[in-house]
Amino acid sequence: MFAVIFEVQPKADKWDAYLGYAKALKPEIEKIDGFVYNVRYRSLTREGLLVSLSGWRDEKALIRWRTHALHHSVQEKGRFEVFGDYHLRVGEITGDSRLPAGHELRDQRLDTTAAGKATTVTLIDASRDAVWMKNAGADAVAAWLGLDTKADGLVAWDVFDAILTPGDAILLLSWRDQAAADAFEARAALPDGARVRRVRIIRDYGMFDRREAPQFYPDVKGGATIHA
């Protein structure tokens, strides 16, 4: 299985446009052969930043979605009109403690990103009372989900709350390599019922870093663009 981790910061005056595009794409993505799930979360550490986490049966399913006409059109509008910035990582799911029914994990790609600082991501999600989640603060939620800021090889972290189902939280940990992720997961203190997924990152790119982007787009204003 594959995962897409899409962190996006819509422009302050473009939230309605972003939500409208997301609503329009929902029935389309659900028709794609090989689509498994998509959940949107809001960051508890970065105001206005969202992450869309989607799962796919294989890379072919991702290609079907990438070449979907409406999706491609919305991508262009997002890049040039709606997004202030975005960061997109595509990878193979190598571990899942709660694998969706009817799916399996098998190695399909063995390469890792050469552009990103982190080659491995751990995702830990669990549910708690939405009121507690709202009032606890990012550090408390992350600690509840098992964050160890001193873990060797930890490059970055963030914690999110689900937009449509508040109280469903997810901790995103970016690791230097798989060994660091494995060491953390082996000793992590996790809440009851937590789901743990591990993703080997294959492509890491964004609005201004295009080195591993699978398609060409003209540069956007607002920053220097890095090309391969």
In the DSSP assignment, the letter for residue 151 is -
In a domain, 94, yes or no: yes
Total domain count for the chain? 1
In a domain, 167, yes or no: yes
In a domain, 173, yes or no: yes
Over residues 99-117, mean pLDDT: 94
Tell whether the model's pLDDT for residue 228 goes beyond 80: no
Tell whether the model's pLDDT for residue 136 goes beyond 80: yes
- The domain that holds 165 is classified in CATH as 3.30.70.100
In a domain, 225, yes or no: no
**What percentage of the chain carries pLDDT values higher than 70?**
100
Tell whether the model's pLDDT for residue 114 goes beyond 80: yes
In a domain, 61, yes or no: yes
Q: Residue 11 is part of which domain span?
A: 2-206
The residues facing 156 across adjacent strands are 174
Q: What is the mean pLDDT of the chain?
A: 96
CA distance 98 to 106: 15
CA distance 71 to 228: 25
In a domain, 130, yes or no: yes
In a domain, 223, yes or no: no
pLDDT tier for residue 222 given thresholds of 50, 70 and 90: confident
In a domain, 134, yes or no: yes
pLDDT at 150: 97
